Structure 1
Amino acid sequence: MESGLTSLLSVSIDFETSHLFFPRIIHWIMAVLFVIILATKTIPFLAAVKRGERTLPILGESMDGFRFFGTLALIVAYFYLMAVVGNLFPYTGYGFLFVSMVFVLLMSLMYMHEWTKKGVIIVVINAIVAPSLVWFILAKLFKITLP
């Protein structure tokens, strides 16, 4: 009786694949949620488009080309310059810090509709404080190496 209870309470862990347990669960949950979203939102929308009650939002809509292409250019420049500036200050995370400050500033200014003095001051403060806080938490508290 004792050996049966002991085997029931014992746990064996395969360390080569144990780290994949929770990501698999999360992937399946996300897949199920994606199917639910498709069934509840997309299918009725497409049926309304087919009946002529709605139109596809992509067709016939005007596009803000400056913001669209500006965002793409800033993202590409952000990742490229993070490595370049990071190589100037190796193993300090300053590449992440300085480039993130500029990135947040330019993105915020690009998406501001009205440039008021108060709005620009808030954007500048946010561009300095938010990346600095993230850099401090990741690089100093958690000792995560940043570019």
Structure 2
Amino acid sequence: MASDLFDVSIDFETSHLFFPTLVHWILGGLLALILITKVAPFLAAVKRGERALPIVSESRDNLRFFATLALIPAYFALMAIVGDLFPYTGYGFLFVSMAFVLCMSLLYLHDWTKKALVIVVVNAVVAPSLAWFVLAKLFTITLP
């Protein structure tokens, strides 16, 4: 009878779902807490006219805003397309990430000096290359 307390049976068909389910419930609870403590008072202040909705009622740089909204889906779509040209190498991630970092950096670059452009280009080559090397080569993670 005492040995029953120490017997453990694991259902391997569903045991891998325990922690993701637990994390989902915790994240859901935190989301509810944020909505109650931060969003509800903010929306009440907007309704009273004390605050304004971000993006909608503030001035913004439309070129950068809409270019960013276009570059992000293009990044993911092109990563799959280029990745299919070089299967199982991660070159899709590498080449498209280089182009994405370059375009985003140039989009948000204010002072177009020779030094700034060199830094942008070096960063666009080095940062994705380093990420690709660490993920694809050191940790052997499959990249698109």
| Alignment size in residue pairs | 144
Give the Cα separation in 1 of the matches to 2:69 and 2:49. 34
Instruction: Select the residue among 84, 87, 92 that pairs with 1:90.
Output: 87
Match of 1:48 in 2: 45
Match of 2:119 in 1: 122
Give runs of ≥4 in structure 1 deviating > 3 Å.
none
Unaligned 5+ segments in structure 1 are none
Matched, 1:64 2:97: no
Instruction: Select the residue among 72, 76, 81 that pairs with 2:78.
Output: 81
Instruction: Select the residue among 116, 120, 139 that pairs with 1:142.
Output: 139
- Range 116-125 or range 38-47, more displaced: 116-125
Q: 1:142 to 1:75 in 2, by over 3 A?
A: same
Give 1:24's aligned amino acid: T
Give the Cα separation in 2 of the matches to 1:94 and 1:15. 36
Unaligned 5+ segments in structure 2 are none
Q: CA deviation at 1:58?
A: 4.0
Matched, 1:33 2:50: no
Give the Cα separation in 1 of the matches to 2:91 and 2:50. 53
Cα distance per residue 1:75-130 (max 9 Å; x no partner): 23222222222222222111111111111111111122222333322222221121
Question: TM-score normalised to the size of structure 2?
Answer: 0.86
Give the Cα separation in 1 of the matches to 2:54 and 2:143. 40
Q: 1:143 to 1:57 in 2, by over 3 A?
A: closer
Give the secondary-structure state (helix, strand or coil) at the position aligned to 1:61.
coil
Identity of aligned residues (%): 71
RMSD: 1.8
